[in-house]
Structure 1
Amino acid sequence: MKFRDYYETLGVARGATEAEIKTAYRKLARKYHPDVNKEKDAEDRFKEIGEAYSVLKDTEKRAAYDQMGSNWKQGQDFSPPPNWNTGFEFADDPNASFGGYGGSYDGDQSEFFESLFGRGRHRQGGRSSNARQGMHFKGQDHHAKILIDLADAYNGAKRTISLHMPTQDPEGHVMTQERKLDVNIPKGIKAGQNLRLSGQGGPGMGDGGAGDLYLEIDFHPSPLYKVDGKDVYLDLPMAPWEAALGTSVNIPTPAGSTLELTIPPNTKSGRKMRLKGKGIPSKEPGDFYVVPNIVLPEAQSAAQKAAYQELEKAFDFKPRSHLKG
């Protein structure tokens, strides 16, 4: 997939105002409209211009797009960085595939566009068109993605999080406003679940209350653990003699404690050792899997090489015998 520089497509600077972006779009749209321009690539250029404008005219999508930074160039190989959208608060879009900045462009969507904003229909206008004196509307719900430690899902926690809400200054430049919230992380929460904070969304109209804020949960990447739903996996490095003879090891758990685990003799690399109910806690808790990974020490000294040679003599071991025709 290739990166699309929407600013380059419209011929504007990254700090362009809303008015400058609109002017550039109108000029290019007239130039490349298929009813006017009969050049072979005019229709493709017209679609690219429309997609770029759909992102840069939208405060929320533009703020999200700008998180990619200015180092990416048009046509470079690209995939969205992991958790690139973490911490950004967006107003609800009922047609969005994720939070408030889902697919809200009704033209042909490029693979690049869908990788960032998902697939969806054109975003409908806000409530302002229906606003009349005396009418009451609940505020829009907001969405944001946050990362927590796996230990928080095991133990529960109270955390202070920082969210960034995209907005515009009076001149039409995109900026973000930061706000901090104290959040109670319930024990047993899983990746992909949403925490609902009542009344922390957009303001209402009239006597309508504020909307709600939904926090989508994901876990910080861990050097030790992998998570699959409620189940947690730990790769356990082992010396060959530990796997062959059996041993007892202390293993760390995501809850912060340690467990003593008996490794039976002749344990094979990749074998899943299941600790039932030791995964993420819930009414039906997940499991904790320890996966042995046999690590071979390097033979560097003469004595170490001799030790391997003695092993070769001691075992009639032919690991590739099954490859014979």
Structure 2
Amino acid sequence: MRLFLIKLSILLATFFVLNSAFAWYISDNVTANRRSKYHWVCSLEANRYDFAFVGSSRVEMMVDPHVIDDTLGTNSVNIGVSGGGSADQFLLTSKLLRQNDVSVCFLQIDYLSISNKFTYPFRDYIWLCYDNDPVVQESLIEHCGSFRYWTWKGIPFLRFMEFASQYKKLIHSNAGEYWEQRKGGQKRDVPYSSAVEDSFHVYTPNELAVEYLFHTIELCHQHGVRLILFQAPVSPNLSSVSSYPKCTDRILAITQEFNLEYWDFSNLYESQGDLFYDNHHLNSIGAERFSKILAQRISTIVLPERDAT
């Protein structure tokens, strides 16, 4: 019996060591996948950007940095991410500002970011790859709970078993050129199948999402980066499949109470539903038109002076 227990202990120890080593190895390789927008943004270093555009897919697919830079002669980056919740946006902004020089940050704020009503509100499987960063670790614990996080941390292969469907294709799909060429933006004309027929949604403010909005505001202040909040155009069809006045009221209350710069383009295309490819996003023509209008508005602000290099 004693010999059996010894052999079992050795087997379990070997299994744990090998799987832990494999998990750490995979973690390093997962972050090398530049086709993932998250990992691409986290890899950006030593760049100087005049403008950084932050938000969900309503930034990623609706703000074209090329149009803005061609109009203004500037250098911009779009770090909007599909399905990116308020905490995801904060962590991406944190990575960007710590590793790059940014003059002005434009944060898109709307019914989605305030309500955090995304299919996957917090990308824990992404941020577990960066949990040596105390800012990331704190966010993971706040969203996933201490027990779950420290279980993942102490037995790392468990997280890869749990998120196998998210990780399995990442190792061999390194294609950072995709985002580099587009400066982080992309346009669509064909809706996702899940977005073709929206069921009715009621959007209400989520307090944790609001908390992380304030984290992003404070983050920009700490880095001396000018912050401008804006709301991208909203589809005229949205009101027929959703209710979001509480989010609109909360946005206005926040911007007014804290005297924040806020540009509201939500009603820009209220009678032009043909510029949207679904109930939430502009199509390629709409995105180009909006980016030109946004560039014109940006041209009215004064950029901070920058030291010559």
Q: Name the TM tier (shorter chain).
A: under 0.3
Tell me which protein shows more strand as a share of its residues: 1
* TM-score w.r.t. length of structure 1: 0.19
Tell me which protein shows more helix as a share of its residues: 2
* TM-score w.r.t. length of structure 2: 0.20
Q: Of the two, which has the highest radius of gyration? A: 1
